[in-house]
Amino acid sequence: MRGPHNILRLIRTGATLERTGAMRLIMDAMDAPPLVRGTMRFLAWPFQWLGYKGDTSMPPALRALTALGPAYIKFGQVFSTRPDIVGDDLATELRVLQDKLPPFSVAKAKASVAQELGHDVDALFSEFSEPVAAASIAQVHKARLKDTGDPVAVKVLRPGIEKAFRKDIDAFYFVARMIELLSPSSRRLRPREVIQHFEGVVQGELDLRLEAASASEFATNITDDQGFALPAIRWDMSNRRVMTMEWADGVPMGDNDGLDQAGHDRAELGERVLQLFLNHALRDGFFHADMHQGNLKVRADGDIIAYDFGIMGHIDEYTRRVYAEILYGFIKRDYKRVAEVHFEAGYVPADRDVDEFARALRAVGEPIFGMDATHISMGGLLSYLFEVTERFGMETRTELILLQRTMVVVEGVARSLNPQINIWQVAKPVVENYIRKNLGPGAALRDLRKTVMVLSRYGPRLPQIVEQALIRQSTPQVETKPAIRWKSVFWLFLGIALGGMTTVLVTVLGS
């Protein structure tokens, strides 16, 4: 239940960070200003006795986040891919959150499997291992099918995970409302809509049937992608809290030493990860939105294997084109066009100055080009972007939140493989290919064909639609005037014209 009682949850958050020693560590890693450091510690210190103690055998950051619960663990997973923001030491420490959290017992996992699938584990599997990976929401066991002997991965949700997430999300809603109340300028960021979006994503991740469906759709889309593969889902052994899929052998993407020993080219892997993500986002509009190192392996043949499809992103075709044009404009350093796209899409209020906005975008983009990637502070870049968006009144686009977050995560993965990678150079061929196929004359013809096909479906109903319009226009309650009669005649002829045009265009385009 959302309400002031969540204040206790938030106080405990700060108190836990202070009690475990994570507050100072995080402030140092993120190079927080002295005023922020002092304020945070001043507010948290008196209440540290309310903080969770956590597992004292863990380092401070891990101890705090795991004690606070699954939603906080999710944030830690994101930062584990961003050494440029939190530093190499803390990023390496947080990587444990991806798949090495404390597991729950095998007995509980077997009980959940039996309850969901309707059969005892021994009737389905000849082997069922201890947990091989444990994350914030579920853990994975390696098993062997009793009938075929094939190895599989069995994913099982954590007991009580739904209730745990509910508590955290309620607290986040409370924070969002307080932010909007105390800082009216923040309303343009739509904090409550952001939390609502996060809640929707989490709810999808808590139903493994939806994850299985996402994996199936994703597999259909990437059939022709070279160097990329997905494990197949076993639908007959999957349900809401249990999912079974092929076992994926390979070197974890986060194990650089293992990748080197296996003879893989880490620089090429980093480029491929970035390009695959952009292809999935732009070409398909359906992408893996949790592509951190814990969800990626490299097979002996060099193929990248992705798994854990609980968080998938979807963007419509129009938004994809806008996003591609923005990226393409930055790549070409055409900041005027990037600014125009923002205005055309309604991302920036129409009363703002497009030239001034273009200059602000130039200040964001120019430092990226001609510099070593290791010299670019993404934290500083994002901070400046925030100032720009605030100055020009841009509102948070909730449909792009997941895309932007995943872009940050994937870039972090690529940089962990190759610190010298330049995201713009790697993205250029993918974006150019999308622009060529989707914003040229051929794309215009495809759009016209789609429009005509939609109109053609209304062809048989046009007489009825026109008749209903005429009846509404001539009701007794409305005084009949010549202008109204002429309007009816106009709609009648427009309906006839559209019907005729639709028939002709369908015939021409279909031939």
Instruction: Outline where DSSP puts E strands in 77-188.
Output: 125-134, 138-145, 151-157
pLDDT for the residue numbered 93? 79
For residue 409, what pLDDT is reported?
81
C-alpha–C-alpha distance, residues 243 and 234, integer Å: 8
The residues that are catalytic are 290
Instruction: Report pLDDT digits (tens) over 390-434.
Output: 677 776 665 666 777 788 788 888 888 998 887 778 888 988 888
More confident residue, 451 or 94: 94
Q: What is the pLDDT of residue 233?
A: 95
Q: Would you state the pLDDT for residue 472?
A: 73
CB distance 352 to 394 below 8 Å: no
Kindly report, residue by residue over 256-278, the tens digit of the pLDDT.
Answer: 999 999 999 999 999 999 999 99
Cα 208 to Cα 241: distance, rounded to the nearest angstrom: 6
Torsion, Cα 135 139 142 145, to 10 degrees, reads: -140
| Angstrom distance (rounded) from CA 479 to CA 476 | 7
CA distance 439 to 326: 13
- Of residues 308 and 369, the one with the higher pLDDT is 308
d(CA 5, CA 484): 59
pLDDT reported for residue 3: 55
Rounded Cα distance between 298 and 229, Å, is 10
> Phi and psi at residue 132, in whole multiples of 5°?
-95, -15
Confidence of residue 294 (pLDDT cuts 50, 70, 90): confident
Q: Of 165-174, 339-348, 379-388, which has the strongest mean pLDDT?
A: 339-348
pLDDT of 234 over the 50 cut? yes
For residue 143, count CB atoms less than 10 angstroms from its CB and return exposed for 0-12, middle for 13-18, buried for 19 or more.
buried
Q: Please report the pLDDT score of residue 324 as a whole number.
A: 83
User: Where do we find the tokens 């990023």?
Assistant: 91
Which residue would you say has higher pLDDT here, 155 or 329?
155
Distance between CA 190 and CA 393 in Å, rounded?
A: 12
Residue 142: beta bridge partners?
153
CATH class of the structural domain 101-159+207-217+237-247? alpha beta
Q: How far apart are CA 257 and CA 420, in angstroms?
A: 17
The ranges assigned to domains in the chain are 6-99, 101-159+207-217+237-247, 162-203, 248-439, 450-510
What are the residues whose beta carbons fall under 8 Å from the beta carbon of 218, sequence distance 6 or more? 230, 280, 286, 288, 309, 312
Tell me which residue has tokens 């076993």: 234
Q: Of residues 501 and 100, which shows the higher confidence score?
A: 100
Based on the number of CB atoms within 10 Å of its own CB, is 483 exposed (0-12), middle (13-18) or buried (19 or more)? exposed
Q: Which residues of 67-85 are buried (b: 16+ CB within 10 A; e: fewer)?
A: bbbbbbbbebbbbbbbbbb
Q: What is the dihedral of CA 82, 83, 85, 90, to 10 degrees?
A: 110
Residue whose token pair is 């005084």: 479
Whole-angstrom distance, CA of residue 56 vs CA of residue 321: 50
First-to-last C-alpha distance (Å) of the chain: 59
Pick the more confident residue, 270 or 182. 270
* Mean of all residue pLDDT scores within the chain: 79
Q: Residues 458, 461, 464, 467: is their CA dihedral positive or negative?
A: positive
Banded pLDDT at 386 (limits 50, 70, 90): low
pLDDT of res. 6: 65
Taking the C-alpha atoms of 35, 37, 40 and 44 in order, what is their torsion angle to the nearest 10 degrees? -130
Q: What is the pLDDT of residue 375?
A: 59
Distance CA 67, CA 64 (A): 5
Query: E-strand spans in 187-255?
Result: 228-229, 233-234, 242-246, 251-252
pLDDT value of residue 505 = 41
Residue 199 parent element (H or E): helix 191-205
Work out the number of other CB atoms within 10 angstroms of the CB of residue 109: 26
Q: What predicted TM-score, i.e. pTM, was given to this entire model?
A: 0.70
Tell me how long the chain is: 511
Q: 327 to each of 114, 424, 479, how far by Cα in Å?
A: 49, 9, 55
pLDDT, one tens digit per residue, over 305-357 is: 998 898 888 888 888 888 888 878 877 888 899 889 888 888 888 888 999 98
pLDDT of residue 287 exceeding 90, the answer is: yes
φ, ψ for residue 297 (rounded to 5)?
-130, 165
